[in-house]
Amino acid sequence: MVASHPRPTIKPWLPKLWRDPETLQIGIDPAGGAVVSGVDAGAASWLVGLDGSRSEAETLAAAAAAGLDVANAVGILSGLRQSGVLLSAPVDVDDLGDTGQLLPELVNLTAALTSPLHGSQALTARGRQHIVIDGANRIGVPLGALLAASGVGRLSFLDAQPVRRCDAGVGGLSLDDEGEPRVTAAQRAIRRISALEQALTQAAPHEADLVVLCQPWTVHDPLQARGMNERTAHLAVAVCQGTVVIGPLVLPGRTSCLRCAELHRTDRDPRWPAVAAQLVAAPNRAMHEPTSVLASLAAALAAAQILDHLDGIGVPEVVEATLELCPPDWQLHRRTWPAHADCGCVEPVAEPIRAAG
């Protein structure tokens, strides 16, 4: 049974389209839309007025005033509810304050979650998250900008290198940043896109909710080398020889880790550790940098997976797996990386994997 709501409100992001002079289509997806037929001028005005400004009783009184049969109006409201066209609770944008920039995020979260209240809560939760990006480069900085623009409240970068001309990228570092510390230039890039006062933080990396590893050739878990909390969730993001590789997302103790992936690679190629060590030691050369298109794809795909993790809507696709994308087919491929028996990183009786929420 669908519970009634005191203030009937058509989801404001659904378009209202006239199929003919007496047939109103609400939304474009049959799974979350409705078609109302036999709509005369009075009914049309009444339907447009389902904006949460009136209680259910006032809505029915308005239907009568518009010349509609009340029983028919009740039936229309019931049909709209069953079609998922009406909100289960009002959207409150007032609590966003001066962060109107985030309205598209709120709309998307509200549409994805069962309740507008949950959408607002998820957006607020994003604002409390602290993400550390290891690598203020052509992928890491645009990724940080995407996360800040999506409402992630605290960001910090790890990078000791100065900006080169080839580091400039769409949504990231600029040509004017050449010679400056990458971290300083990255912070400026974030301020260009985010109105959140706390978008940048000086908090210690070990206090992060998630570390994103955007360094080239991320083939080893660098968290222990940095003395960072091995319980910190981390995600590997790279473009390797023209292929975007996102993942795995490691939830320490609960999902397979980067060492598991290395052990699987070594099973297939015993010389892999020697090759990998040379990859890690390779100089950070301009010819290894991703193209603008691949860097943007990597940043966007990584941001989508990170937000899925933060919002807790479901288990991200990159848990115990990588998502890979490359020309010429541009098809998204998912490769699984299960826990390796020789690693021992996953507790024998792991609790069910749940997103961060």
**In terms of CB distance, is 262 or 317 closer to Zn ion?**
262
Residues 6+ apart with CB under 8 A from 189: 141, 144, 145, 171, 172, 173, 174
Q: Which of 273, 218, 294 is nearest to 249 (CA)?
A: 218
DSSP 8-state secondary structure symbol assigned to residue 67: T
**In terms of CB distance, is 328 or 348 closer to Zn ion?**
348
**In terms of CB distance, is 124 or 266 closer to Zn ion?**
266
Tell me, residue by residue from 24 to 63, as one string, x for binding to Zn ion by CB under 5 A and - for no binding: ----------------------------------------
Instruction: Give the interface segment with Zn ion, choosing from 68-76, 124-132, 222-230, 342-350 (CB under 5 A).
Output: 342-350
Q: Which of 111, 129, 131 is nearest to 120 (CA)?
A: 111
Q: Does 345 bind Zn ion (CB under 5 A)?
A: yes
Q: Does 343 bind Zn ion (CB under 5 A)?
A: yes
Report 260-289 residues binding Zn ion (CB under 5 A).
Answer: 260
Q: Provide the minimum distance between the beta carbon of 349 and Zn ion in the complex, in angstroms, as a whole number.
A: 16
The two most distant CA atoms of the chain are separated, in Å, by 81
Report 69-88 residues binding Zn ion (CB under 5 A).
Answer: none
Q: Provide the minimum distance between the beta carbon of 196 and Zn ion in the complex, in angstroms, as a whole number.
A: 35
Instruction: Give the interface segment with Zn ion, choosing from 94-102, 203-211, 245-253, 336-344 (CB under 5 A).
Output: 336-344
**In terms of CB distance, is 14 or 260 closer to Zn ion?**
260
DSSP 8-state secondary structure symbol assigned to residue 245: E
Q: How many residues bind Zn ion (CB under 5 A)?
A: 5
**Which strands sit side by side in the sheet containing 233-240, from one edge to the other?**
154-158, 130-134, 210-213, 233-240, 243-250, 321-325, 333-336
Q: Does 301 bind Zn ion (CB under 5 A)?
A: no
What is the rounded CA–CA span in Å between residue 134 and residue 153? 17
Tell me, residue by residue from 246 to 265, as one string, x for binding to Zn ion by CB under 5 A and - for no binding: -----------x-xx-----
Helix axes 258-268, 272-281, angle to 10 degrees: 130
Q: Provide the minimum distance between the beta carbon of 343 and Zn ion in the complex, in angstroms, as a whole number.
A: 3
**In terms of CB distance, is 118 or 259 closer to Zn ion?**
259
Helices (H), ranges, 11-138: 41-48, 56-65, 70-82, 103-112, 116-128
Residue type at 159? D
The bridge status of strand 210-213 relative to strand 243-250 is: unpaired
**In terms of CB distance, is 343 or 355 closer to Zn ion?**
343
**In terms of CB distance, is 91 or 257 closer to Zn ion?**
257
Q: Contact residues for Zn ion (CB under 5 A)?
A: 257, 259-260, 343, 345
